[in-house]
Amino acid sequence: EIRPNEIAESKLVASPGCYPTSIILPLIPILQEGLIDDSSIHVVSMSGTSGAGKKADAALLFAECNESVRPYSVPKHRHLSEIEQELSLAAGNNVTISFTPVLVPVTAGICSIIYATSRDGSSNEDVKRALENKYSEAAFVRLLGESSPPDTKNVTQTNYIDISWSYDERSDRFIFMSAEDNLIKGASGQAIQSFNLMCGFDQTIGLVI
């Protein structure tokens, strides 16, 4: 969605991680338009247990995770550098964020909630325009609109990412929300999407059922 032409001309592509995808896609158009204070970004992301991979770890058994919500890898998750790299490129300066990943008792899916202070009186309309300008032709980005929270049930087993936003006038903060399947849009599906671009295929081949 961000660099399709560069991907199409590449021989090797590093596919983005699951958490980075859920955070980068909502924020890049916003940072490019200067709509938020880029020093004020705080993110809480909730992920299903499959995000930890297939390694044998008692703490990741569903019987252990069920009926439990647990933050982990605080304060520096391994994906944080990737997230800050891409946000910094979009903002045109170094961006540092606070990021808290949370393990929740579902098999697949990520829901990210992103908080950021508005800049120069930016509005919901400004946010809507920035996101629509960037993603109106994006096959797998669905903009749900203002105050329409995404639901992981609507994206699991698909290559879609759903994005919504809201403005909290009381705190002068925007709240961006996204949901995706961590195993597909956050991993294998996105890799296939890049493969399609590299081969000159329609990027949706093999991804729309």
pLDDT of res. 27? 98
Return the sign of the alpha-carbon dihedral for residues 51, 52, 54, 57: negative
pLDDT of res. 69? 92
Annotation says 65 is catalytic: no
User: How many beta carbons lie within 10 A of that of residue 204, not counting itself?
Assistant: 13
Spatial distance between the Cα atoms of 112 and 43, rounded to a whole number of angstroms: 7
Closest CA to 26 of 101, 110, 92, 93: 110
H helices of 33-136, where? 62-65, 80-91, 124-135
| Structural domains for the chain | 18-181 (3.30.360.10)
- SS3 (DSSP) at 83: helix
pLDDT of res. 186? 95
pLDDT of res. 82? 96
Spatial distance between the Cα atoms of 18 and 35, rounded to a whole number of angstroms: 25
User: How many beta carbons lie within 10 A of that of residue 72, not counting itself?
Assistant: 12
Residues of the chain under the 70 pLDDT cut = 52-56
pLDDT of res. 51? 72
Measured CA angle at 126 (ends 120, 127), to 5 deg: 105
Measured CA angle at 85 (ends 53, 172), to 5 deg: 100
List phi, psi (to 5°) of 180.
Answer: -155, 165
pLDDT of res. 62? 77
At a CB cut-off of 8 Å and minimum separation 6, what does 203 contact? 4, 139, 193, 196, 197
